[in-house]
Amino acid sequence: MKTYLRLLSLKISSRLSYKLDFFTTLISSLLWSLASPLFIILLYQSGASYPDWNFNEILLFIGIYTALFGLGRAFFYNFFFNTGADVRTGYLELTLIKPVDELVLLLGKSFDWESLSEVLAGSLIAIYAFIQLSLSPNIFLFLVYIGLALLFYFSMILLISSLIMKYVQVTRLIEIVERFMDIASHPKNVYPRVVQTGFSIFIPLFIISYYPASALIGFELVYPFTIILTTLIFFMLSLYIWRKSIKNYTGAGG
């Protein structure tokens, strides 16, 4: 943990050496996070809506999604690109011989401070919608789902990072994760039942936003505990594949 925090502080120091870039990236991250709420506002203003979701409920949903997406970007997103870059340059070999877990080093190096503005924007939207709705939520379940959502995001990044170690030049693998995140950016009930079940039981994609939002709103949840178990299994599997990839890694650059 100490190493991780030290890397985080080094990261902010190095980012602040390009102040203009840091602040413009911060502003752009903040504005990017407004894309989904803008979609909702324009959609509802046109008279259309998501089935069974009123405006404030969907705003709460999208606020949680935006905050979680921001957290995922801050903590894990660059992990994939840094792993790919380190494989290409041969720097990964240096990371692997250090007496610290490679996950800690790569995660610390990958932290993206600017994405915290997305977390802020998402949280403010969610808090606003929450106040408007005057709910009595299941906070404990909500927090469990939030933790698992981050774990699932990390699992997806770990999986594609394992692949980039083997296939090196496939940076567009991140697009697959982004497409999956697009699916999670809409409520589960817009999809056919088979998709709903598949992404709740087999690949726990709806843990990203639907489950935490539903725990707050009080919607009846299908498979509320199965999805917890599936997320944990998914994470264990990703970690196993990552460790196996590291073990089999023979170097590509350097």
Partner 1 sequence: MFKPVLSIIKMGIKEGVAYRPQMLLTLISFPIFFLTQFFLWTSIFGDSPNTSIAGFDLTQMVGYYIVGLLILVFTYSHITTELHNGIREGHFIKFIIKPISYPFFSFWIIIGGRILAFVMEAIPLLFVVGLMLGFDFFLTPNLTLFLISFVFAFFINYLLSLIMGTLIFWFTNPNGITWIYRLLRYFFAGGILPLTFFPEIIQYIILLTPFPLMYFIPAFLFVGNNVILGIEITPLLLLIYGAIQLIIFSLIAYFLWRRGVKTFQGVGA
Q: Which residues bind partner 1 (CB under 8 A)?
A: 18, 20-29, 31-32, 35, 38-39, 42-43, 45-51, 167, 169-173, 175-176, 178-180, 182-183, 186, 189-192, 195
Nearer to partner 1, 101 or 178 (CB): 178
Nearer to partner 1, 191 or 249 (CB): 191
Nearer to partner 1, 23 or 240 (CB): 23
Residue 81: which of 153, 8, 169 has the closest Cα? Answer: 169
Question: What is the Cα–Cα distance from 240 to 233, expressed in whole angstroms?
Answer: 10
Is-contact 189 57, C-beta < 8 A? Answer: no
What residue type is 107 in one-letter code? L
Type and span of the H or E element at 10: helix 2-16
Burial string for 50-80 (b: 16+ CB within 10 Å, else e) reads beebebbbbbbbbbbbbbbbbbbbbbbbbbb
Nearer to partner 1, 2 or 179 (CB): 179
Question: What is the Cα–Cα distance from 167 to 252, expressed in whole angstroms?
Answer: 10
CB of 187 to partner 1, least distance (A): 9
CB of 37 to partner 1, least distance (A): 10
What are the Cα distances from residue 142, in Å, to 183, 184, 243?
20, 17, 30
What residue type is 137 in one-letter code? P
CB of 190 to partner 1, least distance (A): 4
Nearer to partner 1, 4 or 191 (CB): 191
- What does the chain come to in residues? 254
Which structure tokens are listed for 92? 């990964």
CB of 169 to partner 1, least distance (A): 7
Question: What is the Cα–Cα distance from 240 to 162, expressed in whole angstroms?
Answer: 10
CB of 215 to partner 1, least distance (A): 22
Nearer to partner 1, 5 or 27 (CB): 27
Nearer to partner 1, 1 or 20 (CB): 20
The three-state secondary structure class of 220 is coil
CB of 167 to partner 1, least distance (A): 6
CB of 98 to partner 1, least distance (A): 27
